[in-house]
Amino acid sequence: MFEHIIQAPLPPSVTNLQGFGDTWQGYSIFLRFHASPEFIATFLASGWRPTEWQRIEERFRLPSPSYDRFTPPWTPNAITPKECYEGQFPNSWGTGTHYLLLDRASGILYFYGIAA
C-alpha cells in the first residue's frame, strides 16, 4: 500500500510500517509508520498543506473494530501536540485525497488516504 500511494521503493528510514484498508475502484487506506526527520521533511515538502485536527479528525477513525489490527492499537487522539496536513496526490492507483497526523516527538506518522 505504501509503495502504491506514497513512495516506491519503501525508504530504509521508514520503519514499523503497519497498514489496513480496502481497494476496489479506489482505496481507503490507513497507515502508521515511523520515519526519520529527513524523510518527514522531504515528505511534507511534496505538497502537503497544514490543517487543523478538528477538520480531519473523523478521517482517522477506523470504520469498525475489525480494522484495528495495529500493534500497539491505533490511537491518533493520544498524540499531543497534533501536527496535521492534507493534500491531493497522484499515485499508481489514481489521485487520492490524503490526510496526515504527525507526532514529531516520536517520528510516528498516521496516514489516511482515500480515492474513488
With cell 519503501, the residue in question is 10
pLDDT (tens digit per residue) in 75-110: 999 999 999 999 999 998 889 999 999 999 999 999
Largest CA distance in the chain: 36
Round to whole Å and give the CA distance between 73 and 6: 22
Lowest mean pLDDT among 47-56, 62-71, 85-94: 62-71
Domain residue ranges of the chain, discontinuous segments joined by +:
2-115
pTM of the entire predicted model: 0.95
Q: How many CA atoms lie within 13 A of 88 on its CB side?
A: 4
C-alpha cell at 6: 506514497
pLDDT (tens digit per residue) in 22-47: 988 899 999 999 999 999 999 999 99
